[in-house]
Each structure stands twice: as structure tokens, then as C-alpha cells.
Amino acid sequence: MHQIPESSLWLGHAGDARDSEGLLLAGLIAVVDLALEEPPARLIRELIYCRFPLHDGPGNPPWLLRAAVDTVAAMMRSGAPTLVSCRAGLSRSPCIAGAAIAQVRGCPAAEGPAIALGSAPADVSPALWAEVRKILE
């Protein structure tokens, strides 16, 4: 789990999203879970939990992608410390967080994932990113 510089967003994997104690210790108050293949997290009541079950590839409904991006952007605008997670934290998380960053900061869509990732490892699905870019247009 790592914080995206100059934002209230963090990127992480499914294990991070299920660690209520670790989330609270990091000062997080919300989780946006994007992992279709993982069961929903069971978190303590004090944490906000939003789930958008996305495929790590093509075939996601545009309305679901839009809802995920808009939710992360809203959390970012409000300054709420939020974890964006997927199964491994390498594709869906940086993709959706990157789109939200581009939306909030008004930068080109292609810059969003680079900002989200910094120097962290990634394996973003080109097909998923193409779908997300389409909803940003």
C-alpha cells in the first residue's frame, strides 16, 4: 500500500483492503474495492466501503467504470483518505485512480496513471485503460 503524492489517495491490493487495523493506522477512512474476483471485504463499521466489481480487461460496462472513477474523484476532492484497491494493486487500482486524478487535476488522461503509480510497479491492462479513457472523453 502506498500513498499517491499530493493526494488523499492510496493504492493497494485485496489484502490491504481487508486489513481494518492497518487502514485505520494509516489514517484511511474509505476503501474503493475494484476486484471482481475477490469476495467483498468485511470491514469495521467506521470505514466507508464502496465496491465496483471490474474485470481486469475488456468488457466492463461504461456506467460502472464511470461510477468508479467519479467516486474516487469525489473522495479525492473531499480530501478523504481513501484506499483504491484491486486484486494485486497493479492494474485496476492505478487505472481508476489515474482517471480520477486526471479528472480532478484537469491533466491529460495519459498522465493520470503515471501520477498514481510514481515509481511503483504496475501491469495495467491496455484493454481496461482503453475503456476508461473512452469514458473520460
pTM: 0.95
Q: State which residues form the domain around 51.
A: 2-136
Round to whole Å and give the CA distance between 83 and 81: 7
pLDDT of residue 21: 96
Number of domains in the chain: 1
Distance of CA 79 to the CA centre of its chain: 15
CATH number of the domain where residue 100 is located? 3.90.190.10
Query: Tens-digit pLDDT profile for the chain (137 aa)?
Result: 999 999 999 999 999 999 999 999 999 999 999 999 999 999 999 999 999 999 999 999 999 999 999 999 999 999 999 999 999 999 999 999 999 999 999 999 999 998 998 878 888 999 999 999 999 98
pLDDT of residue 134: 95
pLDDT of residue 118: 84
